[in-house]
Amino acid sequence: MSRENALVSADWVEEHLDDDSIVLIEVDEDTTSYDKGHIRGAIKLDWTTDLQDQVRRDFVNKEQFEALLSERGVGNDHTVVLYGGNNNWFAAYAYWYFKLYGHQDVKLLDGGRKKWELDSRELTDATPTREKTSYTAQEQDHSIRAFRDETVAAIGTQNLVDVRSPDEYSGRLMAPAHLPQEQAQRAGHIPTAANVPWSKAANDDGTFKSDEELKEIYTEAGVDWSKDTIAYCRIGERSSHTWFVLKELLGQDNVKNYDGSWTEYGSLVGVPVVLGEEKGEA
């Protein structure tokens, strides 16, 4: 994968608004954003109701994902272009999710909704109607999804990249600062994890930094490019952003997103936790 295949600019999206081979999809943390205005022709996926199992903590299964995309009019041959707020956190999460279920052609709009808005580009409240499809998903690709046991086993052996803010990493905050802080789990980080906040990979307008800048940021933080990497955050959406950078922009082979992330790890009984700014020992 490379930047040319995985990322499109706002200009490119504007030029392809009437291209039937493309489906624009908005995915936001604030699931009402789409309803306040979206890019013309875009449909919405709600990460809480469409992409999560509504009983246990997991994703919708293959059959549910197939039914969802069929009903929304997304076909296997469509180029899916994702964008959203929060500097594309949840759009990157959906990108990773589409890859997990084997969709071939997925792209991210560089800068997402913020860049589009700051450029004063057109938004509409008209909802498009799309013909239903018969979508076929693949079995989940676990080469890009990490679970808790392999994350614990990765301590001291693989690259662990904690992409939360320094205050969350050190344990001073429990959640991103736009969310209430009271949580059940413990604060801190996984021993040996490097703290490379997702935001280091993005410019203020939400676009990604250049490949050269990105490579330098992770190298300086101690990422060993010869090793496998697991990225995590609080619930797996910001780490999807970093997974996208490492895997899709920089082309690293074995990069996984640990979607259980801190809300799972910080609630596990008996696992090691480090407080403060040091990585800690294995």
Partner 1 sequence: MCGATEGGLSLDGIDVAKEAIIQGRVVRGEEPVGNAYVRLLDRTGEFTAEVPTSATGHFRFFAGNGDWTLRTLAPKADPVDTAVTARKGSVAEVEVAV
Residues in contact with partner 1 by the rule CB under 8 A: 30, 33, 36, 85-87, 114, 117-120, 165-167, 172-173, 175-182, 197, 199, 204-205
Instruction: Give the nearest distance from C-beta 90 to partner 1 in angstroms.
Output: 13
Structure tokens at 100: 């997990």
112: how many CB neighbours lie within 10 A of its CB?
A: 28
Q: What secondary structure letter does DSSP report for 275?
A: -
Of 69 and 196, CB closest to partner 1: 196
Distance CA 27, CA 32 (A): 10
Shortest distance, position 100 Cβ to partner 1, whole Å: 26
Closest by CA to 112, choosing from 258, 262, 237, 253, is 237
Q: In what order do the strands lie in the sheet with 229-232?
A: 145-146, 255-258, 229-232, 159-162, 194-195
Kindly tell me which of 30 and 53 has the beta carbon lying closer to partner 1. 30
Q: How far is the CB of 225 from partner 1 (least distance, A)?
A: 24
State which amino acid sits at residue 88: N
- Give me the least distance between CB of 275 and partner 1, in Å please: 14
List Cα–Cα distances, 208 to 10, 197, 203, 224, 262, in angstroms.
13, 13, 6, 21, 24
The one catalytic residue in 69, 233, 235, 245 is 233
Q: Which is nearer to partner 1, 185 or 199 (CB)?
A: 199
- CB of residue 30 to partner 1, shortest distance in Å: 8
Contact in structure between 162 and 266 (CB atoms under 8 Å) = no
- For 88: left if phi > 0, alpha if psi spans -120 to 50, otherwise beta; the answer is left
In the complex, the smallest distance separating the C-beta of residue 272 from partner 1, rounded to whole angstroms, is 24
Q: Is 69 annotated in the active site?
A: no
CA proximity to 92, closest of 254, 247, 225, 265: 247
- Residue nearer to partner 1 on the CB measure, 30 or 216: 30
* Segment holding 140, helix H or strand E: none
The DSSP output letter for 198 is G
CA distance 230 to 119: 34
Residue 130 or 172 with smaller CB distance to partner 1: 172
Looking at beta carbons only, is 56 or 178 nearer to partner 1? 178
* Burial per residue of 25-60, b for 16 or more beta-carbon CB atoms within 10 angstroms, e otherwise: bbbbbebebbeeebbebbbbbebeebbeeeeeeebb
**Which residues are designated catalytic?**
233
